[in-house]
Amino acid sequence: MITTFGARLSAAMDARGPLCVGVDPHPALLTAWGLTDDLTGLRRFAEICVEALADEVAMLKPQSAFFESHGSGGIAVLEQLIADARARGTLVLVDAKRGDIGSTMTAYAKAYLTEGSALAGDAVTLSPYLGFDSLAPAFEAASASGRGVFVLARTSNPEGSSVQDAVASKADGERSVAQGMVDAAAQLNVGAPRLGAVGLVVGGNLPTLNLDLSGLNGPILAPGFGAQGGTVADLRRLFGPNLEGVLPTSSRDVLRHGPDAEALRAAVRELRARLTEPAA
């Protein structure tokens, strides 16, 4: 019997705290770590991240673009990172933000959500802006393999508001484009215990939420925490004092402490302590 992604994520957050760390090997960071901006440096970067962080966090989030930029060899490094982290018992969210239609979306689903694919972690990020229902092949593949998806709803970048906050007239009243994504995800999570497999990406640094997340019954990935300005106080203001089901993600605030493995671990432990400290 397949253990659902929601169940695995809930267990990981209970055991290791609510934190996702992004693995973003951009050129400036490779240089700062004393590594070369090539496959050798990329491979060592990935190895250090897994060695230092795999036992410390609920989930690792490799940013696929930074691996893809190195060509087929970079994708091979990403595949190895996914395998190594999962072998250590860490959930892996492949941050690929895929979204398309028809047979192309089916191919993306096969690559990122099908058992046996080297690019399949535990979940993948998806962009719904060709229409939420265009992602149906991914939802079906995730359900079949016990994986999850995180659908972009209201993202942390300021440019996103021009599309995501736009309001369209609907038969059931006016709602923003982002709220439409929330409502569609909630429908797919109906009946799931604790956390459904369809999560959302909602920025943890937004000035206001302007979303009703009460019916989601799924996880929320909250980028924008840390280097983009989001604080623990912001997270609690946006998502409630207990941060139920919320997984803040930090990349630069953690990775700037590398390449020393113990310094990376210390940074994670400090963030985790702030996130789990009882609300005042």
In sequence order, what are the residues at sequence separation of 6 or more whose Cβ sits closer than 8 angstroms to the Cβ of residue 132? 151, 180, 181, 184, 185
Q: Which of 275, 280, 262 is nearest to 48 (CA)?
A: 262
C-beta separation of 93 from 113 below 8 A? no
**What are the distances in angstroms from CA 112 to CA 88, 123, 206, 243, 251?**
19, 8, 29, 28, 22
How is domain 5-276 classified at the architecture level of CATH? Alpha-Beta Barrel (3.20)
Mean pLDDT of all residues in 113-118: 98
**Is 110 tagged catalytic?**
no
Pairing of strands 175-176, 167-168: antiparallel
Given a cut of 90, whether residue 72 has pLDDT beyond it is yes
Q: What is the reported pLDDT for 280?
A: 67
pLDDT digits (tens, 9 = 90+) for 206-241: 999 999 999 999 999 999 887 777 899 999 999 999
Decide: helix, strand or coil at residue 124: strand
Residue 279 vs residue 161, higher pLDDT: 161
pLDDT digits (tens, 9 = 90+) for 236-279: 999 999 898 999 999 999 999 999 999 999 999 999 999 988 87
Q: Count the neighbouring beta carbons within 10 Å of the beta carbon of residue 10.
A: 17
Q: Count the neighbouring beta carbons within 10 Å of the beta carbon of residue 214.
A: 9
**What are the distances in angstroms from CA 231 to CA 190, 201, 275?**
31, 17, 9
Choose, from 61, 97, 110, 170, the residue flagged as catalytic.
97
Ordered by start, the domain boundaries in the chain are 5-276
Q: What's the whole-model pTM score? A: 0.96
Q: Count the neighbouring beta carbons within 10 Å of the beta carbon of residue 127.
A: 16
pLDDT digits (tens, 9 = 90+) for 19-68: 999 999 999 999 999 999 999 999 999 999 999 999 999 999 999 999 99
- Return mean pLDDT, the chain: 94
Decide: helix, strand or coil at residue 257: coil
